[in-house]
């Protein structure tokens, strides 16, 4: 069977990000997602080697080689909105569209404002009746949690948890164009007249260029892609493109060395940092193939003009 694309897929429409209700407007404010999901029955999922096999091919829709613009075209299928929904009339009142899905949870206030953080790092207040943008502030990272508001000694505060993490930033790095800077997780609190400066996030020091020459044959790259999709992309990113939360394996110096790669991937030396050994269910042939695929993807990015070749000499 050919590839089938379902939009929205199982991760949304609406995911965990809290929605809100305002009894004065009678509207429900929903962070809506449009995330495609790819199904393909050509490969037998019983052959899949993964700790998490729920019966679909994790590599469905993944080309090993693709022309420039392919990943951007897949990313264009993604989107979302903040939707003000009238549950009595069962119809939308207003919507703010977003090119990226999985924007933040929503807070609706008595004063007629709707607050939401989005994937561009903005925390925005909208008019609850009309959706007009009333105020915004750049947080750098991405507030996926819903903001909250509270009063202490007559003063009103608004706090939001912000950072650069979450499932979407791990898996869907390719939707951001380039990996965003890492923002350390932080709680940011606003009040009227507040004037503290927000510290800037740490700059990423890794140069986005291949760290070794390409190796392996197309068969090995194909196997590596399959095993990467089944095991690694949930954290290191679909199509081997990281969203910047954890290292992009294409630019990692560890990917360039078979020995260093085996120490991490097979022997688990980074286990305390959250990177466990995969030697329990992936053979050396599998993990070698993943390394070959990752480096092949690094050179594919160079060929497609998405990364620069290493400096010569
Ligand atoms: C559950 C999440 C998760 C999965 C799944 C995962 N990793 Fe990792 N990986 C991590 C984390 C977290 C780090 C960063 C550890 C640190 O901070 O040093 C990492 C780091 C690495 C590094 C070191 C990169 C560097 O430059 O420091 C390599 C290599 C690596 N992973 C390979 C893989 C491979 C290959 C797979 C699939 C077989 C995989 N990982 C699956 C979470 C994951």
Domains of the chain plus CATH, in order, are: 4-36+77-191 (2.130.10.10), 218-303 (1.10.760.10)
Q: How far is the CA of 239 from the centre of ligand 1 (A)?
A: 15
pLDDT tens-digit series, residues 85-116: 999 999 999 999 999 999 999 999 999 999 99
Q: Is 265 in the pocket of ligand 1 (CB under 6 A)?
A: yes
Beta bridge partners of residue 82, listed in sequence order = 31, 96
Q: Is 134 in the pocket of ligand 1 (CB under 6 A)?
A: no
With a pLDDT cut of 90, the percent of the chain lying above it is 65
pLDDT at 145 > cutoff 70: yes
Do 101 and 35 touch, CB atoms closer than 8 A? yes
Q: What is the pLDDT of residue 168?
A: 82
Residue with token string 């119809």: 91
Q: Is 231 in the pocket of ligand 1 (CB under 6 A)?
A: yes
| Average per-residue pLDDT for the chain | 91
Question: What is the average per-residue pLDDT within 152-171?
Answer: 90
Q: What is the pLDDT of residue 118?
A: 92
Of residues 54 and 147, which shows the higher confidence score?
Answer: 147
Q: What is the pLDDT of residue 313?
A: 41
pLDDT at 293 > cutoff 60: yes
DSSP letter string over 58-90?
A: TTTT--SS--TTHHHHHHTT-EEEEEEEETTTT
Q: Which of 194, 76, 188, 77 is nearest to 141 (CA)?
A: 188
Do 206 and 247 touch, CB atoms closer than 8 A? yes
User: What is the atom index within ligand 1 of the atom nearest the CA of 253?
Assistant: 26
Q: What is the pLDDT of residue 245?
A: 86
pLDDT at 257 > cutoff 60: yes
pLDDT at 20 > cutoff 60: yes
Report DSSP state, residue 144: -
Which of 8-12, 120-124, 218-222, 309-313 is most confident? 218-222
pLDDT at 277 > cutoff 80: yes
Q: How far is the CA of 213 from the centre of ligand 1 (A)?
A: 21
CA torsion angle 59 230 306 65 (round to 10)? -40
Question: What is the average per-residue pLDDT within 242-265?
Answer: 94
Q: What is the pLDDT of residue 178?
A: 60
pLDDT at 312 > cutoff 70: no
Please give the helix or strand (H or E) that residue 127 lies within, else none: strand 122-127
pLDDT at 18 > cutoff 80: yes
pLDDT at 119 > cutoff 60: yes
Query: CA–CA distance from 255 to each of 28, 112, 247, 252, 304 (Å)?
Result: 47, 52, 11, 5, 20
pLDDT at 179 > cutoff 60: no
* Helix runs in 124-266, H state only: 166-171, 218-231, 233-236, 258-265
The CA distance from 148 to 261, in Å, is 43
Question: What is the average per-residue pLDDT within 41-66?
Answer: 85
Please give the helix or strand (H or E) that residue 173 lies within, else none: none
Residues 6+ apart with CB under 8 A from 47: none
Q: What is the pLDDT of residue 1?
A: 53
With a pLDDT cut of 70, the percent of the chain lying above it is 96
Q: How far is the CA of 275 from the centre of ligand 1 (A)?
A: 5
User: What is the atom index within ligand 1 of the atom nearest the CA of 234?
Assistant: 5
Least confident segment among 128-132, 166-170, 287-291: 166-170
pLDDT at 142 > cutoff 90: no
* Phi, psi angle pair for 165, to nearest 5°: -160, -140
pLDDT tens-digit series, residues 180-227: 556 778 899 999 999 888 877 777 778 889 999 999 999 999 999 999
Q: Is 290 in the pocket of ligand 1 (CB under 6 A)?
A: yes
């Amino acid at each position: 069977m050919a590839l089938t694309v379902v939009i929205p897929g199982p991760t949304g429409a609406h995911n965990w990000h809290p929605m809100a209700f305002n009894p004065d407007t009678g509207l429900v404010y929903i962070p809506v997602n449009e995330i495609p999901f790819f199904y393909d029955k050509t490969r037998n999922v019983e052959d899949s080697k993964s700790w998490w096999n729920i019966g679909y091919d994790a590599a469905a829709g993944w080309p090993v080689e693709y022309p420039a613009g392919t990943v951007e075209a897949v990313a264009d299928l993604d989107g979302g909105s903040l939707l003000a929904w009238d549950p009595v009339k069962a119809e939308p009142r207003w919507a703010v569209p977003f090119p990226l899905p999985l924007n933040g949870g929503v807070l609706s206030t008595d004063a007629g404002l709707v607050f939401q953080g989005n994937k561009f790092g903005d925390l925005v207040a909208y008019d609850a009746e009309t959706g007009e943008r009333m105020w915004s502030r750049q947080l750098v990272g991405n507030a996926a949690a819903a903001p909250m508001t509270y009063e202490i000694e007559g003063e009103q505060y608004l706090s939001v948890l912000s950072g650069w993490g979450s499932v979407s930033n791990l898996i869907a790095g390719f939707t951001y164009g380039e990996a965003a800077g890492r923002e350390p997780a932080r709680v940011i609190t606003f009040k009227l007249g507040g004037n503290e400066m927000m510290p800037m996030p740490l700059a990423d020091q890794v140069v986005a260029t291949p760290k070794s020459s390409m190796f392996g044959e197309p068969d090995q790259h194909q196997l590596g892609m399959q095993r990467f999709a089944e095991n690694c992309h949930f954290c290191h990113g679909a199509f081997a493109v990281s969203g910047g939360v954890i290292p992009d394996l294409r630019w990692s110096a560890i990917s360039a060395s078979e020995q260093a790669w085996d120490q991490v991937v097979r022997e688990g030396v980074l286990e305390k940092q959250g990177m466990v050994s995969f030697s329990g269910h992936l053979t050396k042939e599998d993990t070698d193939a993943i390394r070959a695929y990752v480096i092949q993807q690094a050179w594919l990015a160079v060929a497609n003009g998405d990364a620069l070749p290493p400096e010569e000499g």
